[in-house]
Structure 1
């Protein structure tokens, strides 16, 4: 299945921005795990499932470790703004992965739906950089959730900022 990450716009804001990095994952929880690797510190991570062709998705039985997992539903009812927020619904991967339910209901509702685990925790703060002479920096963008490592002499062109090691 294909997903895009949803990153909370700030600690405990409850509003999520759509990331720009496509994720291919076997399950919703696998996609959340992949997306969380680039999450801004202190922010929670969700995912937006999508499919490139129209029609109803085929049911995908959840893997044993996915079965029973629950997700709060994030919606984007104002159209393709890239801003999602919780709407009070909870989907579970029981009988089929919860991502399929999102894909089907997006067509019914006419707006995008995302998922965030009901027990989502904020991303940990970045660890201090190595103090060696060949330090590296990390680039990060809160709206896209992308994160890459760059050397201190690299130029960042992704719109993020680089923080060289001390």
Structure 2
């Protein structure tokens, strides 16, 4: 009985409203709203038949600068797709986000990705306008002195052809 009571007290302590540990993983709701607005404003170049994926990324800061979000946008030409998941048995390449967070940024959760569409057995795809978002806690005293590359590694295909895998990057200014 004592152990159950101790566990209950520990749970209340860890998840209580006054606990800093519980608040670390909470994303600032104003930042989430700013990210939604920035997604609408984030511009990519127009995709073409020779380059069917256009790409851009941006850093969005919270008001008090204790959190930030990395927002990536990919825009695919009509009838083109990239791969959300491709099994090892598949000939397709799974899309990867290429971003190495600098010291001083601690992720809050994983990358938020759009819902993938089933394509064939063991393969899921993304089409159209795609957003990826990841939130970070900013550790006190961190200094960003140079831009950091943020990229997308992908393979674009249409019903008739697949291009070789490619990486596109953008320099993010903090």
TM norm structure 1:
0.25
- Higher Cα Rg, which structure: 2
Which has the larger strand fraction? 2
